[in-house]
Chains A and B, each alone.
Chain A
Amino acid sequence: MTTSRRDLLAAAIVAAGAAHDSVHGQEHDHEHAHQAVPSDPALRVKALESLLVEKGLVDPAALDAIIDTYEHRVGPRNGARVVARAWTDPAYKKRLLADANSAIAELGYGGQQGENMVVVENTPKVHNLVVCTLCSCYPWPVLGLPPVWYKSAPYRSRAVIDPRGVLREFGLELAEDVELRVWDSTAELRYLVLPERPTGSEKMSEEQLATLVTRDAMVGVAKVTLPPEGGAA
């Protein structure tokens, strides 16, 4: 157990390039660590968690509570409710665009990685797209944690230089006369796209509308569409 945890943590350090000299000052140790790099990060994480728990630095029950928050309590359903409210309540929409933090808090949402929200509105003439080219900044309280594609090199690299090509890859062909605004969220402002309400949805309730709004539409890589004829909404 001791040996394996040692190897696993050493591998994490090597991967990080961290504390390299102090941990692996001797050449044979260095080689040993490389040989020991395990393919399974699950084991490395388990070793680190065990060490931190034994040192009294983390409480495993707190870890469970954090995971539960993002697996079950926070996600794009929150953002969809914000959008549906804005579509059905003009005064709310006005507040949302003027002061997103307060308006989103009215529905009970806010917090980590959404402390300073900005909502940008799509119209027939303007389309908005959100990216973080430097890491993975994303409005957690209204969209949850970001999907892998949002955090990956292809999207981060091309969303700013070829946004129309990116949208095409998502199946969205933007008309040439539409202005495309890309929001590279590299500071602590977090952006949510207010999509266009689909035509034909005039008779739908706020709750029904919320079921139409997707995560992708609130990032700006899709539009909100009505379900096919005979669909559930």
Chain B
Amino acid sequence: MNGVHDMGGMQDMGPIQYEKNEPVFHQRWEGRVFALTRATRAWNKWNIDASRYSIELIPPADYLRVSYYEKWLAGLVRLLVKTGMVTATEIESGQPASGVAKAVPALTPDKVPMINRGEHAKRNLAVAPRFQVGQRVRARNMNPLGHTRLPRYARGKQGTVDRDHGVYVFPDTNAELLGEKPQHIYSVRFTARELWGDAASPRDAVYLDMWDDYLEPA
């Protein structure tokens, strides 16, 4: 989706607001939203790509206006309702539906170190790479309506495969729970001039991690 979250190359967003000695969470509720997001994920009703996509679906004006963890809150509520973990009626009333047995939390304190170990998007599968290190490639010109990790600023641009990172889950399908479609990710080097024109520094480059499905031979 060509959403406002795809910010690379936008201009006039103002100065970078730097805060010295910034706390991990500015308010207690930010930590609670962060933790609620992690704890509800332990039910395995969605994955990290779905989680990112849920935040991308926030209306653009709201996305730009609200704080980071307010976006997390909005994204989480959407997923809870979408997956049926919480019904719209329960959201309406603020109370659990009557007659439904209380669940046992998927994540207990003793299991927190386990989720902190991470979740792996890399797959040990023998999927043949479509491209080789050193090869010239072009980022496909595609404009899917769903989730994608191919930024707009790279589409149609040519680059060189710098390294092959191995086989990973494909977010465009995984975000909508349509399958992992595992394929290679490459680090592709795009020169600043290819991306931004002749005014860019001749020495600079952007390296983007690109899945096989984002690339075509140049």
Binding site for B on A (CB under 8 A): 1-2, 4-6, 8-10, 12-13, 15-19, 22-23, 41-42, 44-52, 54-59, 61-67, 69-71, 75, 110-116, 118, 131, 133-136, 144-145, 147-149, 151-164, 166, 169-170, 176-189
Q: Given contacts A55-B96, A169-B16, list 16 more A-B pairs with CB under 8 A.
A: A2-B93, A6-B93, A16-B74, A19-B91, A42-B27, A42-B28, A55-B100, A134-B6, A149-B16, A152-B17, A154-B15, A156-B8, A187-B171, A188-B122, A188-B169, A189-B187
Question: B88 to A19, Cβ gap below 8 A?
Answer: yes
Question: B121 to A188, Cβ gap below 8 A?
Answer: yes
Query: How far does the alpha carbon of A56 sit from the alpha carbon of B29 in the complex, in Å?
Result: 20
Question: A63 to B203, Cβ gap below 8 A?
Answer: no
Tell me the smallest distance from the CB of B200 to a CB of chain A, in Å: 8
Q: Nearest A residue to B211 by beta-carbon distance?
A: A187
With an 8 A cutoff between CB atoms, is B129 at the interface? no
Closest 5 CB pairs of A and B: A5-B94, A133-B8, A18-B78, A187-B209, A16-B74
Query: How far does the alpha carbon of A83 sit from the alpha carbon of B150 in the complex, in Å?
Result: 31
Question: A157 to B7, Cβ gap below 8 A?
Answer: yes
Q: Could you write out 17 A-B pairs with CB less than 8 Å apart? A: A5-B94, A12-B77, A13-B88, A15-B66, A50-B94, A51-B96, A62-B107, A75-B24, A112-B115, A116-B121, A136-B68, A144-B24, A153-B64, A157-B9, A180-B201, A182-B206, A184-B206
Tell me the smallest distance from the CB of A169 to a CB of chain B, in Å: 5
Q: B19 — which chain A residues lie within 8 A by C-beta?
A: 147-149
Question: A2 to B22, Cβ gap below 8 A?
Answer: no
Question: A56 to B109, Cβ gap below 8 A?
Answer: no
Q: Nearest A residue to B38 by beta-carbon distance?
A: A66
A65's partner among B28, B69, B112, B149 (CB-CB below 8 A) is B112
Binding site for A on B (CB under 8 A): 5-11, 13-19, 22, 24-29, 31-36, 38-40, 43, 52, 54-55, 57-59, 62, 64, 66-70, 73-78, 80-82, 85-86, 88, 90-96, 100, 102-109, 111-112, 115-122, 149, 151, 153, 165, 168-169, 171, 185, 187, 192, 195-196, 201, 203-211
Query: How far does the alpha carbon of A157 sit from the alpha carbon of B12 in the complex, in Å?
Result: 9
Tell me the smallest distance from the CB of B62 to a CB of chain A, in Å: 6
Q: B5 — which chain A residues lie within 8 A by C-beta?
A: 134-135
Q: Nearest B residue to A183 by beta-carbon distance?
A: B207
Tell me the smallest distance from the CB of A41 to a CB of chain B, in Å: 5
B119's partner among A67, A115, A161 (CB-CB below 8 A) is A115
Query: How far does the alpha carbon of A182 sit from the alpha carbon of B8 in the complex, in Å?
Result: 12
Question: A148 to B203, Cβ gap below 8 A?
Answer: no
Query: How far does the alpha carbon of A50 sit from the alpha carbon of B165 in the complex, in Å?
Result: 42
Tell me the smallest distance from the CB of B173 to a CB of chain A, in Å: 14
A56's partner among B58, B80, B103, B210 (CB-CB below 8 A) is B103
Question: A52 to B86, Cβ gap below 8 A?
Answer: yes
Query: How far does the alpha carbon of A170 sit from the alpha carbon of B19 in the complex, in Å?
Result: 12
Question: A116 to B122, Cβ gap below 8 A?
Answer: yes
A49's partner among B14, B27, B36, B85 (CB-CB below 8 A) is B36
Question: B205 to A51, Cβ gap below 8 A?
Answer: no
State whether A65 and B59 are in contact (beta carbons under 8 Å apart), knowing that A46-B29, A153-B64, A170-B16 are contacts in the complex: no
Query: How far does the alpha carbon of A171 sit from the alpha carbon of B4 in the complex, in Å?
Result: 28
Query: How far does the alpha carbon of A162 sit from the alpha carbon of B197 in the complex, in Å?
Result: 12
A41's partner among B38, B70, B149 (CB-CB below 8 A) is B70
Q: Nearest B residue to A126 by beta-carbon distance?
A: B203
Query: How far does the alpha carbon of A149 sit from the alpha carbon of B93 in the complex, in Å?
Result: 37
Tell me the smallest distance from the CB of A12 to a CB of chain B, in Å: 5
Question: A55 to B22, Cβ gap below 8 A?
Answer: no
Question: B117 to A69, Cβ gap below 8 A?
Answer: no
Q: B100 — which chain A residues lie within 8 A by C-beta?
A: 55
Question: A156 to B7, Cβ gap below 8 A?
Answer: yes
Question: A160 to B91, Cβ gap below 8 A?
Answer: no
- Among A45, A118, A166, find the residue whose CB has the most chain B CB atoms closer than 10 A: A45
Q: A16 — which chain B residues lie within 8 A by C-beta?
A: 54, 57-58, 73-75, 77-78
- Among B16, B34, B100, find the residue whose CB has the most chain A CB atoms closer than 10 A: B16
Query: How far does the alpha carbon of A15 sit from the alpha carbon of B115 in the complex, in Å?
Result: 29
